[in-house]
Amino acid sequence: MLEELNGYSSIFLDYSVLLEYAGTPVFEGLLRVLDTGLEVYVDKSFKALHYCILHIKDPKDLKAAAAMKKICSVLLAEHRLHLIKELEIDKVAANINEIEGECVVLTTRDSIFTKRLYEKMPYISCDIAIIAKGVLNVFDSLDSLCFSFPKQEPSRLAYNSSYIESFGSASISDIVVTENEEKYELVKRLSGGAEGMVFTTNQPGYIAKIYHKGIITPLRWAKLKKLTELKISGHGFCIPKELVFFRNSPVGYTMTLGKGTTLGTVFDGPDAMLEAFPEWTRLDIVKTLLALIEKYLYLHMHDVIAGDIQLKNALIDSSSDVYLIDMDSVQIGNLPCPVGTEEFTDPRLWGKDFSKFLRELRDEDYSIAMLVFSMLFCGLHPYATRNGAETLKEEITNYNFPYNFENDNEFIPIGGYDHIWEYLSEKLRKMLFETFKNGWSYDTLEWLDAVVKYKEDLENFVYDDPEAYKLFPKEGYKQASVDVEAGRAALQKTSKPKAAAPAASEASSEEQSDSLESIVTEQPVFAKPNQPAAAPINSAFARPNQPAATNPAFAPKRPFTNVPTGKYIPKDQIRDEEDEVSKKKKFFGLF
């Protein structure tokens, strides 16, 4: 089925191929192609997205996990799996262009990777192969791909303002029926709103949303049907499971029951945070944030854009137990999301009719950046400013981000938020500053990567100052603290020494174990001698195709470095310097 790929010497493989086609003849065809000896390249998203799959633990993704093991067990053993250490599409494309020989990019029609290609249109010198509905389509350029597969337009249903007729309104004690004739009794009303009511049911763990009359449009019902067809059952998704009918009329859907309190209620400053989770440290916030970002990325992998990201659209029971709610309004495929919260929406979209256009991943990137800041700052908005403009909208449009790298801005709100900024990792501070001060944009995967590194720093007790681990550093609140020395000692006791990896020039004579298990323990296998590596882009700050800085006159008094202003050892600097060296080599190990 993929025989056309046999004429190439190397493949850049996107993770979506595994996710969408594992366990199918398409994947078996890919294995046969790889058996011919092709060199396989992947970028950092390959690993990041796979970890999202593993963490979500949706049973339907077991085949993807098995496919990953199968590919790695073959390619790693034969030293044919190469890692491009980039996430952002322009940089990935530049690295792909450096691969020697006849290379082809292999991805799928609706993947994150393909959508980023459409958004940023980077130059790619090799062929691009798209698998769409199980059929391989090969294009000699990105332009020809876009011509053959143009961007989706909103469904015509988006312009249909009629309502589906209903012959009854279900309520307590009524029985609603699914398309498979499964019956649910509505037991108790949980909540109600302008759209409808939510009831507990006689099926443990499941609730039902029943719409009021005159609410279900053809667009809404088509979207609900598509969402149920996704069969997402991973933990933390309160997503439509089954459509339900009452007196043969469509009235709503069932979904899993979430637990806890809305994020907006908990992440609402010191009093709310410390009352809800008095035992929390900064690590708990970061774990919660990661869980949410992974869930949104998981939706992106399934052609879903959340659209209306905000703190009230998630529930939290613990740092490892968070739920996405109000998911019947999301955008799926060519069915748009009709709603949005201005404070969390990219200003480029303000004033538009959300129901009449399709959002892109880059539109979601801004909302994810908002989520990152709001959670790290315990509910504060990035443009909340002391003695500032009369409205938040003015602050947003003027890019009045009150934080800087000298940490001396008198406009930062009182309450210890300057100290939260002071103790963040330098990478996060740089990304937040560039986003909210200079109007730059980072992909959701880049935010995930930065937050993961911050989490690792906290877990490994990188920072000397115990204040770095508190919810509100240097503030007199009664809050949990961390014993840094005790934590480091405990880590030292439990850590196992790793075998030293051979130098790249010695890899052919002193290779490590080729088993997948050795890769899981993060023992890298280096490139064979004299093999050229993909050339990473090492510019720390320049990002292609970015808008001009809103404040071009801004020049920090000291250069951007990885030396933080807090009182802790800048081990990030050491790690980043090692990364710069490693980027000059070609890696085979992913895990």
- Cross-strand partners of 303: none
**Measured CA distances, 333 to 9, 58, 148 (Å):** 34, 21, 18
Q: What pLDDT, on a 0 to 100 scale, did the predictor assign at position 162?
A: 92
Tens-place pLDDT, residues 124-160: 999 999 999 999 999 999 999 999 999 999 999 999 9
Residue 509 has pLDDT above 60, yes or no: no
Q: What is the Cα–Cα distance from 578 to 574, expressed in whole angstroms?
A: 6
- Condensed to tens digits (0 to 9), the pLDDT of residues 423-481 reads 999 999 999 999 999 999 999 999 999 999 999 999 999 999 999 999 999 998 999 99
- The Cβ of residue 561 has, within 10 Å, a number of other Cβ atoms equal to 14
User: For all residues of the chain together, what is the average pLDDT?
Assistant: 85
pLDDT at 82: 96
User: According to the model, what pLDDT value does residue 34 have?
Assistant: 94
The CA dihedral of 461, 465, 469, 470, to the nearest 10 degrees, is 160
The pLDDT confidence band at residue 498, using thresholds 50, 70 and 90, is low
User: Percentage of residues in the chain with pLDDT exceeding 70?
Assistant: 84
Dihedral sign computed on CA atoms, order 211, 217, 221, 224: negative
CA 375 distance to own-chain centroid:
15
8 Å CB contact between 149 and 132: yes
Cβ burial, residue 74 (10 Å; 0-12/13-18/19+): middle
pLDDT > 90: percent of the chain: 74
Handedness of CA 463, 465, 470, 474 (dihedral sign): negative
Torsion angles phi and psi, residue 134, rounded to 5: 80, 0
Q: What is the reported pLDDT for 544?
A: 36
What pLDDT score does 104 carry?
97
Cβ-proximal residues to 115 (8 Å cutoff; 6+ apart), any chain:
360, 361
Q: What is the pLDDT averaged over residues 243-266?
A: 95
Report residue 395's pLDDT band, with 50, 70 and 90 as the boundaries: very high
Contact 131, 38 (CB under 8 A): no
- How much is the pTM? 0.85
- Coil, strand or helix: which one is 278? coil
Q: Which domains does the chain have, with CATH numbers?
A: 1-151+497-591 (no CATH), 175-256 (3.30.200.20), 261-491 (1.10.510.10)
Instruction: Provide the 10 A C-beta neighbour count for residue 351.
Output: 7
Q: Is the pLDDT of residue 168 over 80?
A: no
pLDDT of 7 above 80 = yes
* Residue 565, pLDDT above cutoff 50: no
Give the end-to-end CA distance of the chain in Å, rounded to a whole number.
Answer: 30
pLDDT tens profile 99-123? 999 999 999 999 999 999 999 999 9
236 C-beta neighbours (distance < 10 Å), count: 26
Q: DSSP assignment of 106-164, as one string?
A: EEETT-HHHHHHHHH-----SEEEEEETTEEEEESSHHHHHHHSPPP---GGGG-----
- The whole-angstrom separation of Cα 413 and Cα 390 is 15
Distance of CA 448 to the CA centre of its chain: 6
pLDDT tops 60 at residue 53: yes
Backbone conformation region of residue 357, classed left if phi is above 0, alpha if psi is from -120 to 50, else beta: beta
| Nearest C-alpha neighbor of 425 from the set 570, 269, 576 | 570
Reported as a single tens digit per residue, the pLDDT across 193-220 is: 889 999 999 999 999 999 999 899 999 9
Say what the pLDDT of residue 522 is: 33
User: How far is it, in rounded angstroms, from Cα 404 to Cα 432?
Assistant: 10
For β-strands 242-246 and 249-256, DSSP reports them as antiparallel
Q: What is the pLDDT of residue 497?
A: 61
